[in-house]
Amino acid sequence: MWYVLLAACMGGLSTPLAKPLVGALSPLLLAGLLYFGSGLGAAFLSVATPKEMTANETSLTRADIPWVLGSIGFGGVLAPLLYIFGLQHLLASDTSLLLNLEGIFTILLACLVFDERINRRFAFGACAIVLGSVIISWNGLQATTDVIGSLAIVGACFCWGFDNNLMRKIAHRSPFQVAGVKGFAAGVIDLILAVPFIAGSPRLAVLGGLLVGVFSYGFCNVLWVLGLRYLGGARAGAYYSSAPFIGAIASVILLREGFTAYFVAASFAMAAGVWLVWNEKEPLHLRPGRPGASTQTA
């Protein structure tokens, strides 16, 4: 659990830290810097971690390639581009709250596609989080750009939710290698696509993008892989639902974004949902009767 909570703290800060960079860098360039920085962060942790703590970690194999490629495509290329596009049109605090949907998509896909099972309390919590997301989106109906921004964040959350479940399949491998390969590969792809936009980009903004990537993506992804290993996709997604609240609070403090009635209402709805899924006591299991299925408990 603590791996995921630490990942949530680091990941939650990514939105308020990245928001000031959105206007200075193109979406493609910023996405590339964040994920290349993620690879650097994972590499740094791999070197800094004592060897006796990583002696039993196994490397990726050829059989893991489909999961790795899917994770790079959904989580490293599509999701960050949609996320940064949405962040251009929304407040960082509203964006942070909408990111609660990542946990919901992670849970739903874990159940519907990857054979995990949740109980009724968990489902009620998920519905409350969705209600909060609808409130934020409804606020966005004031302007077409806000609606488009909200839809972009929803799309990013779906891609990251799918990515989280793909990473669950390789969570038994070295978290440093999994996070590093994903970060470097996605970063290089995004940076190649961003070549026409690199000229004239402020150096401080470029450095800032890399540093946010190292801290809020690289360190976060290593801890997230460890959390997936021990908790499974559905439960890890539930604990990670604390990240958007960290991001929302940090956005108000760091970026001086004010509270709106919609923001407060959405916060209460989402907080209730997160409380329900956090306090769910019944262990989550894989559905029985499927080839290769085994029990997953926290």
**240 has pLDDT over 90:** no
High-pLDDT (> 70) share of the chain, %: 79
Which is more confidently placed, 77 or 122? 77
Rounded-to-integer distance, Cα 50 and Cα 31, Å: 31
If you average pLDDT over every residue of the chain, what do you get? 79
Q: How far is CA 132 from the centre of its chain?
A: 18
Residues present in the chain in total:
298
Q: By the 8 A CB rule, do 253 and 259 touch?
A: no
Neighbours of 119 (CB within 10 A): 12
Give the residue carrying structure tokens 């998920």: 126
More confident residue, 8 or 298: 8
DSSP letters of the chain?
-HHHHHHHHHHHTHHHHHHHHHTTS-HHHHHHHHHHHHHHHHHHHHHHS-HHHHTT-B---GGGHHHHHHHIIIIIIIHHHHHHHHHHHS-HHHHHHHTHHHHHHHHHHHHHTS-EE--HHHHHHHHHHHHHHHHHHHHGGGSHHHHHHHHHHHHHHHHHHHHHHHHHTTTTB-HHHHHHHHHHHHHHHHHHHTHHHHTT--HHHHHHHHHHIIIIIIIHHHHHHHHHHHH-HHHHHHHGGGHHHHHHHHHHHHS-PPP-HHHHHHHHHHHHHHHHHHT--SPPEEPTTSTT------
Phi/psi of residue 284, nearest 5 degrees: -90, 140
pLDDT at position 256 is: 77
- Residue 246, sorted as left (phi over 0), alpha (psi -120 to 50) or beta, turns out to be alpha
> Which residues make beta-bridge pairs with 285?
117
Q: How far apart are alpha carbons 192 and 240 in whole angstroms?
A: 31
What average pLDDT does the segment 244-267 reach? 75
The predicted pLDDT at position 66 comes to 93
Mean pLDDT computed over 227-251:
72
Report the predicted TM-score, pTM, of the whole model to 2 decimal places: 0.75
Tokens of 99: 């990111």
Q: Model confidence over 241-255: pLDDT tens digits?
A: 667 777 777 887 887
Residue 48 clears pLDDT 80, i.e. is over it: yes
Residue of 191 and 250 predicted with greater confidence:
191
- Residue identified by tokens 């990473």 is 167
Tokens read off for 15: 């939105």
Would you state the pLDDT for residue 266? 73
**Domains of the chain: which residue ranges?**
2-49+62-286
